[in-house]
Homo-oligomer: A and B are copies of this chain.
Amino acid sequence: MGTTQLETVPEPKYWHLKNVLSEALDSEFSVGEVLPNERELAARFGVARATLRQALEQLELEGRLQRRRGVGTTVAPPRVGVAVGTGQHGWPGTADDAWRIVDCTHAVPPAAIADALGSGREEAVHVVRRSRRSHGQQVAAERLYIPAASVPGLTAIDAPSGPARARAVLRELQRLELEGQERSVELGSARAEDAKELDRLPGAPVLVVTTRFVARKRTAAISVATYRADTCRLTFGDSGGVEIHHGPERQAS
C-alpha cells in the first residue's frame, strides 16, 4: 500500500488488511504453516491488535486460517466436503452411516422441537447424541429427538442408558417405513456443549442442519446437526462432492 488512495478511501482498515493478508496467504504461505503472532503482525502493519484481529477473524470465518489459543495461527487446509445426502440414506443409524453414537438420554426437548414433533411441551423424548468425523477431524455433533410414540416396541428398561440404549432406539425406529425427509440449513453459533465436542470456543459459527423424518404421515424424529462452519462445506446431491474450492478468488475491492 504505497500512497495510492485517490478514491475517497472509506474502506475500513481491517477490510484492506484482510485482503492483503489473503493475498499473502495465497502466495507466500503453505497449508499448516504458522503465522507470526498477533502482536507482531499488528506492529508490522502499523495497526492496533484489535484491528488486526478483526481481519484474522474474517479470514478464519472464511476457512482460510485456524487459530488456537496457546498455540498460534496457522494456514487452514481447504474446506472438506461433507455429504449431507438427499433422502436415499433413509433412517439414521443404518449401514454406511458416517455417525458414531455417543450416548442416549431421556429428556424434555426445546419447545420448538416439541412442537414440530407434535409431542407435548412437557413430554420427555429419547435424545440420541452422535458425532461425526471426517478426514481425521471432528466435523459435527448431532442431537436426534425421537418421541416414544415412534419406537413402540421399545420396552422401558430394554437397556439402561448410554450407547446400548441408543442402538436399541435406532433399531426400533428403523422398523417404521420412512415416507420422506425435509432438511434446512442455517447459520448458528455453537452452544457451550457442542463447541467443546467440536474443539472450538463457545459461540463459534456453525452450520445447523435440521432434518425432519416423516413416517405414517407424522414427524417420527428430528435431527439437529451442527457442523463446524470454518472447516466444512456441506454437499448435497447424489453424485459425490463438487470439487470447487473458493481459494484464490480475487475480491473486487
Contacts and interface: CB of A to CB of B under 8 A. Distances in A.
Interface of A: 12, 15, 18, 58, 61-63, 79, 81, 86-87, 110-113, 115-116, 180-189, 191-193, 202-203, 205, 207-208, 210, 212, 222, 229-230, 232-253
Contacts of A208: 246
A191 B251 contact: yes
Contacts of A236: 86, 182-185, 236
Given A111-B248, A244-B210, A253 B192 contact: yes
A187 B185 contact: no
Nearest 10 pairs between A and B by C-beta? A192-B253, A182-B237, A187-B229, A110-B249, A186-B233, A183-B236, A184-B235, A182-B242, A185-B234, A116-B244
A202 B253 contact: yes
Contacts of A202: 12, 15, 253
A206 to B, nearest CB: 9
A12 B195 CA distance: 14
B188 A246 contact: yes
